[in-house]
Amino acid sequence: MNAKDQLTAMLAEADVEVNGQRPWDIQVHNDDLFTRVVAEGSLGLGEAYMDGWWDSGQLDEFFNLVVGADLGSQLKMTPALAWLALSSRLQNRQNKRRAFQVADVHYNLDIDVFEATFDKRLTGSCAYWENAANLDQAQEAKLDLVCRKIGLRRGQRVLDIGCGWGAFMGYAAETYGADCVGVTVSSEQVDYARRRYQGMAVEPRLMDYRAYAGEVDHVVSMGMFEHVGHKNYRTYFEKARSVLKEGGLFLLHTIFQPKRSPRIEPWINKYIFPNGVLPTVGQVGKAVEGLFVIEDLENFGVYYDRTLMAWRANFTSHWPAMAARYGERFCRMWDYYLASCAGGFRSRKISVGQFVLSPNGVPGGWRLER
């Protein structure tokens, strides 16, 4: 079977046709696509999209079908994927030296890329859409939910591990009167948060989480645990426990997958989140053993599909300006990232949620009216 027939047959298993008429079908502009994907796997698929070799009228739904059918497992092991899988086992790909690599590739991009994509606060994690009508409302609902889950009170000090552009710190300081310190490996995020929240009780620091020292009333972390890596999970929770006061709470907001996988998605690793890896609930449970009591876990993975589609709509509306500055290939890369992730969450192969952790158990039990 030649490469075209092989890939066409695989896609058919996911109800995707080559040059079909439905929105999620793919339109091939370069027949070398088939050989490229068979030889290079998902990395070749993504790079071919960036190069304009193929399109889909509904790229997000294409990925929902492809991921849902687990077609990635049918592609042969490429040398690049084999190396990533092996190195993830043998190396600590998220050690202190490597921790800053993701900022160089992703988080230190010029701020206008994120302003064209995210909400007005630049909240780079899943929104909470329960009663929200738009992205800004959904992100503020998420930030408020976090504050309520930890029982935040005026004057309390909160550590935000992986604070991003300061969305949570700014909201907590403005709305709850909190004193916030955040750590991030991105110099651009630190500069932005310092400018935006100047004069407020918001202190962003350029720092690996392992270097933080101090005592806080609560700890929060949103969309950062995916960069920690399984070799560092225990260290991560030990650090959080060491800085948290006895009566405090730790809210962990993270993507997770239903089973451990040695496969690292090479396109995401190369272009978006180098060294990133998704935990399982079981890995979190093992890593917190003897350190924290898991008071609550809320799974709202379906909300990330909607969040990513809102981000994609925002970016699409700014496409001409973004293409004029960064080029068409960058825009196709960014679009591929947002659509592929949206499809992944829609397929329910990945989820996102929030753990509420306490050092010794909340007396009488933890409760929240959501």
Catalytic residue numbers, as ranges: 341
Contact in structure between 159 and 182 (CB atoms under 8 Å): yes
φ/ψ of residue 73, rounded to 5 = -70, -15
Give the whole-angstrom CA distance, residue 270 versus residue 98. 14
Q: In 78-178, at which residue ranges do the beta strands (DSSP E only) sit?
A: 157-161
Contact in structure between 215 and 184 (CB atoms under 8 Å): no
Measure CA of the first residue to CA of the last residue in the chain; give whole Å: 54
- Which of 272, 100, 110, 96 lies closest to 185, judged by CA? 100
Give the whole-angstrom CA distance, residue 47 versus residue 7. 16
250-256 and 351-358 beta bridge pairing: antiparallel
Query: Could you tell me how far CA 363 lies from the centroid of its own chain?
Result: 33
For residue 56 the two structure tokens come to 């889909």
Give the whole-angstrom CA distance, residue 20 versus residue 132. 36
Distances (CA, A) of 19 to 6, 43, 66, 72, 356: 15, 21, 16, 20, 47
Give the whole-angstrom CA distance, residue 261 versus residue 215. 36
